[in-house]
Amino acid sequence: MTSLPSRPGTAAGAPQARRPTRRRSRRRESLTALGMVSPAVFLLLLFFVIPVVLAFALAFTNARLVSPTPAEFTGLQNFRTLLDDPLFYKSLRNTFYFAAVVVPLQGGLALVLALLVNAKVKGVNFFRTVYFIPVVTSMVVVSILWTLMYQKTGLVNELISQLTFGVVHGPDWLNNPSTAMPAIIFMSVWQGVGFHMVIWLAGLQTIPQDLYEAADIDGATRWVRFRYVTWPGLRTTRTFVLITITIAAFSLFAQVSVMTQGGPLDSTTTVVYQAVQTGYAQQQTGYASAISLVFFVLVLAVSLVQRFLTREKD
Amino acid sequence: MTSASPAPARPGPRTPLLRMLALQAARIALALFFAFPIVFMLVSSLKPDQQIFGDLDSIKAFLPVGHVSLDNYTGVFDRVPAARFLFNSIGISAVTVVLGIFVNSLAAFALSRMRWRGKKIVLSAVIATLIVPFETFALPLVWWVNQLPWLEVNGFHLTLTEGWLDTYQVQVLPFVANAFSIFLFHQYFQSIPKELDEAAVIDGANWFGIYRRIVMPLSGPAIATVAILTFLPAWNSYLWPLMVVQSEDLRPVMVGIQYFFQLNPSWGEIMAYSSMITVPVLALFVAFQRAFVSSIASSGVKG
């Protein structure tokens, strides 16, 4: 925070007579500032702080979305139910499966795209624009579009068949427990990778040119340039990309809700999907809060571990 | 897209022609990969169902040929109150964006340019909220908004109602104050010289005057960024309205998609509706590419 500009009367050696005016204007400044932050602070309290605190409180009650009787404290009951619920373990497993594949795949492909369009070639702006188009398309629309394309006789299988000269016939992607999740993963990466391409690009452009020039004078190969100039220069970008993709991957919901409703055979149900099902469809707010709480702890733990692993080691 | 910042000229190892061609081929292949589903959606929206599936085995799947008509679009309006959904989404997004710009910039102004006790605590508290994803508190939030009171105007009477479920305000107000917007405005305001405030004070301006006449007019890029980053999730919102809005009259466009799956879905109509709610955003994107991309890039600084 830089210091405020010195206003009349704040300069050293100002006449004593001005003191009271100055104090009054300082107080007025404080009051005005409080007035200016209060709408935002009020709304954040109402729609962020209170619900987060509620997530903790309601998790220990039997609260229902609409209920004639007030919620009762039930201790650890929700968590006990949760730990006995086989669906919860499936949700947890699917969520980790999705994150474990999407995070490296999307992060890596995004970097490849960024390197490809970070060149001084004609038409590079066009390519950036096209790669980015799925990002501005709603996940709901994308999910519906791919549901059509993933049908047994849909566009995806038709393309696979054409590209392999009729040798390979794709499965009914979304109705097969072993292919439903990979299909959702593939589509999610297609939709989101452009976003992280732009983040990598912003990182690439902060690397000083003279480092590359110095590497060239030393006769560095392309790989050496990448390994010793580009990669270290992307350190902060890397942490950001890692953490944002991870949080987004753990929050997987819309794709599942639109394309498979958790099926077939619970092969695509996720923690957030299960929380929404119990909290909204079955109206069990208390139980859903317990799931949300576990989810929150999970996300927090994973981001902390990632931060620890990517910390500055020197 | 970012032609303003010159693409880094890398005088590095001379690229052989063959390599350049291979790279360009990769770029083109990737462009096809990212564009083909969107093209397929737009083209299919013009065809009857039978032809959508009939054309799959040839390049015709991506070309507007055969029985091309706007029938699917008229079908959409017959099947669902599409105009109403569009109206709702435009209204909800616009109000969220306008209120968001105002509320968050005002807070950022006080946080970056004024002197008051506790401002460092408020600023770090605001930034700390960034790591909590919405999904973790969405369900308690549903329960909470169902307990909130609201003043309703009936003619000349004010009545106190309870519960925000099934209203417009429940789709707007929770998303107005946004920690990331405050952070972006704060960063931008820091770069505007504070000597300008000083000069304005000598001219008799008060703090709100400085905000309105000096700082905001100089903050175009920050306003554009916040507008875009508020607009996209507002337009695309799905989980939240799914849970808090029941009546058809108040539903936004994304929830409207459900209507098409109720009885004998017509894929042509679904593609028409999907195109209708996507094309406006794509048009905005193409028109404001630079602002879009730089706003996404700026979100990279928050790590």
* pLDDT (tens digit per residue) in B158-188: 777 778 888 898 999 999 999 989 988 998 8
The backbone torsions φ and ψ at residue B77, rounded to the nearest 5 degrees and listed phi first, read -70, -25
**A106 shares a domain with A32:** no
* B256 vs A1 pLDDT, higher one: B256
pLDDT category at A14 given cuts 50, 70, 90 is: very low
The pLDDT assigned to B171 comes to: 93
* Confidence category of residue B2, pLDDT binned at 50, 70, 90: very low
Asked if A119 and A221 sit in the same domain, the reply is yes
The shortest CB-CB distance from B197 to any of A5, A148, A213 is to A5
pLDDT score of B13? 52
Least CB–CB distance from B56: residue in A58, A155, A199: A155
A222 pLDDT exceeds 70?
Answer: yes
Lowest mean pLDDT: which of A31-40, A98-107, A119-128?
A: A119-128
Task: Answer left, alpha or beta for residue A13, where phi above 0 means left and psi between -120 and 50 means alpha.
Answer: left
Has residue A74 been placed in a domain?
A: no
pLDDT single digits (tens) A122-163: 788 889 889 999 998 999 999 999 999 998 888 998 888 888
Nearest-Cα distance to chain B for A118, in Å, is: 7
Q: Chain A neighbours among B 225-284 (CB < 8 Å)?
A: 232, 235-236, 238-239, 242-243, 254, 257, 267, 270-271, 274, 277-278, 281-282
Residue pLDDT, tens place only, A267-291: 999 999 998 888 888 888 889 899 9
Over residues A298-310, the mean pLDDT reads: 85
Q: Report the pLDDT averaged over residues B64-82.
A: 87
Quick one: pLDDT band at residue A7, thresholds 50, 70, 90? very low
Tell me the shortest Cα–Cα distance from B131 to chain A, in angstroms.
Answer: 8
Residue B157 has pLDDT above 80, yes or no: no
Which of A24-33, A35-44, B64-73, B134-143 has the largest mean confidence?
A: A35-44
Residues 32-91 of B with CB under 8 A from A: 33-35, 37-38, 40-41, 44, 53, 56-57, 61
Residue A10 has pLDDT above 50, yes or no: no
Residues spanned by the domain of A33:
26-58
**Predicted pLDDT of residue B11:** 47
Residue of A nearest to B100 (CA): A40
Per-residue pLDDT for A186 more than 90? yes
User: Which of A216, A272, A280 minimises the CB distance to B243?
Assistant: A280
Average pLDDT of the residues of chain B: 85
B84-254: CATH architecture: Orthogonal Bundle (1.10)
Minimum-distance CB partner of B103 among A43, A244, A285:
A43
Question: Is B111 in Cβ contact with A145 (below 8 Å)?
Answer: no
Closest CB to A37 among B26, B111, B285? B111
Is the CB of residue A173 less than 8 Å from the CB of residue A150? Answer: yes
The DSSP output letter for B15 is P
For chain A, the domain total comes to 2
pLDDT of residue B85: 94
Same-domain pairing of A50 and A95:
no
Which of A39, A58, A77 is the endpoint of a domain? A58
Rg (CA), chain B: 24
Domain boundaries defined on chain B: 84-254
Q: What is the ipTM for the molecules in this complex?
A: 0.84
C-alpha R_g of chain A: 27
pLDDT value at B103 more than 80: yes
User: What percentage of chain A exceeds 70 in pLDDT?
Assistant: 92
Residue in this structure with the two tokens 């340039």, named with its chain if needed = A225
- Residue A256 placed within a domain: yes
For residue B164, the distance in angstroms to the closest alpha carbon of chain A comes to 13
CB within 8 Å: B115 and A8: no
Of B133, B270, B289, the CB nearest to A129: B289
CATH of the domain at A97: 1.10.3720.10
Same domain, A37 and A90: no
- Own/partner pairs for A106-110, CB < 8 Å, 24+ apart? A106/A188, A106/A189, A106/A192, A106/A193, A106/A196, A106/A245, A107/A196, A107/A241, A107/A242, A107/A245, A109/A189, A109/A193, A110/A193, A110/A194, A110/A195, A110/A196, A110/A197, A110/A199, A110/A200, A110/A241
Give the C-alpha separation, A272 to A275, whole Å.
5
Assess if residue A63 is contained within a domain. Answer: no
Give B203-244 pLDDT, tens digit per residue: 888 888 999 988 999 988 889 888 988 999 999 999 899 889
Same domain, A45 and A194: no
- Whether residues A155 and A264 share a domain: the answer is yes
Residue B190 has pLDDT above 50, yes or no: yes
What is the token pair recorded at A109? Answer: 């492909």
Q: Is residue A159 part of a domain?
A: yes
Is A73 a domain residue?
no
Position B130 pLDDT exceeds 50? yes
Q: Lowest-confidence range among A16-30, A296-310, B251-265?
A: A16-30
* Average predicted confidence (pLDDT) for chain A: 85
Would A233 be classed as within a structural domain?
yes
Over residues A51-57, mean pLDDT: 88
* Residue of A22, A47, A161, A294 best to disrupt the B interface, most CBs of B under 10 A: A47
Partner B contacted by A295 (CB < 8 A): yes
**Inter-chain contact A55–B31, Cβ cutoff 8 Å?**
no
Asked if A279 lies within 8 A of B33 by C-beta distance, the reply is: no
- Per-residue confidence at A19, pLDDT binned at 50, 70, 90? low
- A111 plus A236 within the same structural domain: yes
pLDDT of residue A112: 95
Residue A218 pLDDT: 85
**Which residue in chain B has the smallest CA separation from A217?**
B12
3-state secondary structure chain A: CCCCCCCCCCCCCCCHHHHHHHHHHHHHHHHHHHHHHHHHHHHHHHHHHHHHHHHHHHCCECCCCCCCCCCCECCCHHHHHHHCCHHHHHHHHHHHHHHHHHHHHHHHHHHHHHHHHCCCCCCHHHHHHHHHHHHHCCHHHHHHHHHHHCCCCCHHHHHHHHHCCCCCCCCCHHHCCCCHHHHHHHHHHHHHHHHHHHHHHHHHCCCCHHHHHHHHHCCCCHHHHHHHHHHHHCHHHHHHHHHHHHHHHHCCCHHHHHHCCCCCCCCCCCHHHHHHHHHHHCCCHHHHHHHHHHHHHHHHHHHHHHHHHCCCCC
| Predicted confidence (pLDDT) at residue A240 exceeds the cutoff of 80 | yes
Cβ-defined contact of B26 to A299 (cutoff 8 Å): no
Give A 165-184 residues with CB within 8 A of chain B. none
In this prediction, residue A13 carries a pLDDT of 44
The predicted pLDDT at position A20 comes to 60
**pLDDT at residue B273 in the model:** 93
